[in-house]
Structure 1
């Protein structure tokens, strides 16, 4: 039976923390070399390196080379080349002739379980990747869960050892091929996520009651249409920022001081009296605790590794101006919590809950060049559980 050649016509990959966007060769010893794969013998591959004054060709044994990337952002698994030198060389020639096509989405490939999904990456730190889903919702994933990032501009990033990435790429190959052909849909508003049921209960949004009759109302500023859109988006991003802090706080490898800093920064996102509803195996049902207590418990978690993700982040109650002049709304998101054993691989606990986050947009006065102007601040309030799996 003929061997299958695995060539992925998509985007690229990265090594350690470096984004790579050129012809690259990844070796079995973990090193990366710039160069172009140009041919093969029965036991070796031929690599060409261009210098300003000349071209240098050299050979490496096949077992010492794992992956190669071309200028089009495509990659090839060396172990899947035909053992026949002529056929292998033809496969490499076809690989190098590939035409670069701009992709609509970045492709993020999870390591365990192996899964590829599309997104428009908006922010990356050492710990998390923030991205926009196909539906336009804000989402986030801890980098420790990611094996490969294939950027839509042809660059790539490997986030774990090359030897561990090869089987992941092969398992996700069909998904990646489909994702590479996706087109960004026309924006028609934010659709409701599949399978989600609208919030059935009214959450405590803590909207102040209107002033008693006879008491003069204080004039408060009103958002312009453009400001409303801007702060609507900023509110979603604030939830996304909170998720990033959750993963920093739960990171067992982080320094104690860094975790405390993350807790302090996360608390700045919330109203002082904000509460969160939590669930657990030991204590059936839903309990309400203060945000600070929740974050402190998260820092002291007993798991070897924790991964927290929020997906399908969207408004279920749009921002609306109330009697006190502030705007209030509710944002929903699906939280996945996974607790791993000491080896960081075996899952000890996992749950998926639908969270509802109260949002308050309040005005304040700021002085710019001696002139008073209105500013707005996004604050998160109570976080409730609408459903749990």
Structure 2
């Protein structure tokens, strides 16, 4: 029997190259190989498979890493419940999914920097030519991609499956959203007042600087002030990144992490939210209070985590509201590197310039830079 099992896996490896670009049920293994087949069961130790030709096999749970269904959605075996009944429910739900008219885009998964591109592929060769969701033409070298997943359900993995699965697992929410993303016209930036406070961050420390009384008329920033506070806004996001690294640092004690959380809360507008992509939420992005987000970060159990930012820039000039505040957006990429996986997410950081006055300079305008809600930017 063991010989037959080895033979069956060997056959899968042999047919992998000719079948993996077809619209079909497909399995990938920890050897990096794959073949036509589907999951039928799973428990704490083993998974059951139905392979091409109606052959049933059981193998160690850690040997099978990912499955694709007919519509091109994927399931990471590590995310299956270890309870056999719950796992069966997950598996049946996965294979009963229907794509239909909801799936409108092809997906290109770029390797470095990591990016999920929603598009319509126009030609598929050494270079992939495609149209973006806003109608622009573009091209990318096949060697720069991890995978191609088409709207007809077919897929191709262009790197080793063990490398691809790490990135797919942490970005399932984005993948699902982009497959169904239709052309949209971006709305112009509109300044808003600060979000209403949420219960979870109601106890966040208040800014130490006393705010000035609201102004009845909108006072725009001078060009010099625009330049100054744009630089300070980018510096504020960099400051946040440093605090995030303190919060996830395994060498720091709980009290040191708690102090870093307290310092981070000081630089946020009370009631701000953090938008995150979640493996457990395959349909849409999740939004959490800043305090909850920071607390969760402090409890991550990876041996080493490094968080960096890249390409930080202001989207446009600050806009004024009728309360004397000024609002802008810093955009950039946040890189989360935990060793076992690396995620690059483009984010928008809402920035609030809150006026305050210095007693010795009553006529001089000064602003405290605060970070508001942080949102994930879905790649087009």
State the TM-score bracket (shorter-chain normalisation). Answer: 0.3 to 0.5
What is the TM-score of this pair, normalised by structure 1? 0.42
What is the TM-score of this pair, normalised by structure 2? 0.43
Higher helix share: 2
Higher strand share: 1
